Amino acid sequence: MIRTRLAAAAALATVAALTLSACSSGGDPLAAGGGESAPADSIVIGSADFPESQLLATIYAQALTAAGVEATTRLNIGSREVYMPALLDGSINMLPEYTGATLSYLTKGDAGVSSSTDVAAALEKALPEGITMLTPSEAQDSDVLAVSKDTAAKYNLKTIEDLKPYAAEMVLGGPPEWPTRHEGVQGLQEVYGLTFKEFKALDVGGPLTIAALANGQIQAADMYSTSPAMKDFVALEDNLNLFPAQNIVPILAADKKTEKVAEVLDKVSAALTTADLIEMNAKLDDQQSLDDVAAAWISAHDLG
């Protein structure tokens, strides 16, 4: 059951009081702000503590700056338990988020929706008072069921459903908890009717999974859609919506949503693709800087 806006706001405010007070001043991205709101004509964009989130925050900030909007970043804040309360108390004004994960956080995993359209609609209703969202991007960082290019060609696989005649011959790989998850082995059986020959416990779309899929030890695997490794594999379309949509979406303080801000952020989101994120994440893996990768993408899409 989806929480009301007031209930969600109250819960997040409680977490804010507990979590932000526990942050040490050393290395804390929020410490410099001291919880103070940004000037009315500027936007402070926060990020989670992983490179893709930091990259997205940098892209949105650079695009706003190029359009004449004063924008700064506070990167590497931490988990949702830290950065969502910071959005509520004005320490930051905007975040690049993932629709399904944010909805699950706000509803304690009780949303009961999976498709991009349904997840976005539910998220808009679940956001706390004073927080709004813009148009989600088609780009997603979600769980995908991946196969090698050779396997996809051999069986003419385009969707997860296409695996049904062949799953009994295949070994499935994924994280150790996958056999007990609906968004895993159970769901593949219940939603798609897939029973694999064997399940091999590996890591979460990491080097063990990548190596096993590449060398044929497994024929299908749980991967992340924006992993740089996905350039070598095929993500099968989740045509029956087993995995909750994780579209990139800017969420921000409602009082920072001007016509200009919305226009700029929506243009970025509209231009962004999952393939772009795969390519940019690979550049970050090669030790290219966030600023350089973001600037190159903005320039390539005439957003600067």
Helix (H) or strand (E) holding 54, with range, is helix 51-66
Residue 251 belongs to what H/E stretch? strand 248-253
Q: Is the confidence at residue 1, as pLDDT, over 90?
A: no
Residues 50 and 47: their CA atoms lie apart, in Å, by 8
Q: Averaged over 75-94, what is the pLDDT?
A: 94
Considering just the CA atoms, what is the radius of gyration of the chain in Å? 20
CA 199 from chain center: how many Å?
26
185-224 confidence digits (pLDDT tens)? 999 999 999 999 999 999 989 999 999 999 999 999 999 9
Fill in the amino acid letter for 97. E
Question: Cα 171 to the chain's mean position, in Å?
Answer: 27
Quick check: 64 and 260 in contact, CB under 8 A? no
- The whole-number pLDDT of residue 112 equals 86
Q: Which residues have CB under 8 Å from 150's CB, separation 6+?
A: none
User: Could you tell me which residues are beta bridge partners of residue 199?
Assistant: 172
- pLDDT at position 204, please? 86
Please give the average per-residue pLDDT across 79-98, as a whole number: 95
Q: What is the pLDDT of residue 28?
A: 62
Q: What integer is the mean pLDDT of 84-99? A: 96
For the chain, what are the domain ranges?
5-140+245-300, 143-236
- Superfamily of structural domain 5-140+245-300: Periplasmic binding protein-like II (3.40.190.10)
Would you state the pLDDT for residue 39? 57
The pLDDT assigned to 72 comes to 97
Long-range contacts of 67-70 (CB under 8 A, 24+ apart): 67/260, 67/264, 68/260, 69/42, 69/43, 69/260, 69/261, 69/264, 70/39, 70/41, 70/42, 70/43
Q: Taking the CB of residue 156, how many other CB atoms lie within 10 A of it?
A: 7
Span 11-37, pLDDT tens digits: 333 333 333 333 333 456 665 444 455
CA angle, 253 as apex, 252 and 256 as ends, to 5°?
Answer: 95
Do 5-140+245-300 and 143-236 show the same overall fold? yes
Tell me which residue has tokens 């977490």: 15
For residue range 231-245, what is the model confidence (pLDDT) as tens digits?
Answer: 999 999 999 999 999
Annotation: CATH topology of 143-236: D-Maltodextrin-Binding Protein; domain 2 (3.40.190)
